[in-house]
Amino acid sequence: MKIADVRRTAYSMPLVSPSYPPGPYKFFDREYLIITYRTDLEALQRVVPEPLEVFEPIVKYEFIRMPDSTGFGDYTETGQVIPVKFNGVEGGYVHSMFLDDEAPIAGGREIWGFPKKYAKPKIQVETDTLVGTLHYGSVLCASGTMGYKHVACDREKVLASLLAPSFLIKIIPDVDAKPRICELVRYFLEDITLKECWTGPAALGLFPHAICDVASLPVREVLSAVHLKADLTLGLGEVVYDYLADQT
| Straight-line distance from the first to the last Cα atom of the chain, in angstroms, rounded to the nearest whole number | 41
- Tell me the C-alpha distance between 82 and 74, whole Å: 26
Give the other-Cβ count within 10 Å of 224's Cβ. Answer: 13
Is the bond into 121 cis (omega within 30 degrees of 0)?
A: no
- Which H/E stretch holds residue 33? strand 25-38
Which residues are part of the catalytic machinery? Answer: 116
Distance in angstroms (rounded) separating the CA atoms of residues 11 and 70: 17
Q: What are phi and psi of 6, to 5 degrees?
A: -60, -50
**Number of neighbours of residue 17 by Cβ within 10 angstroms:** 7
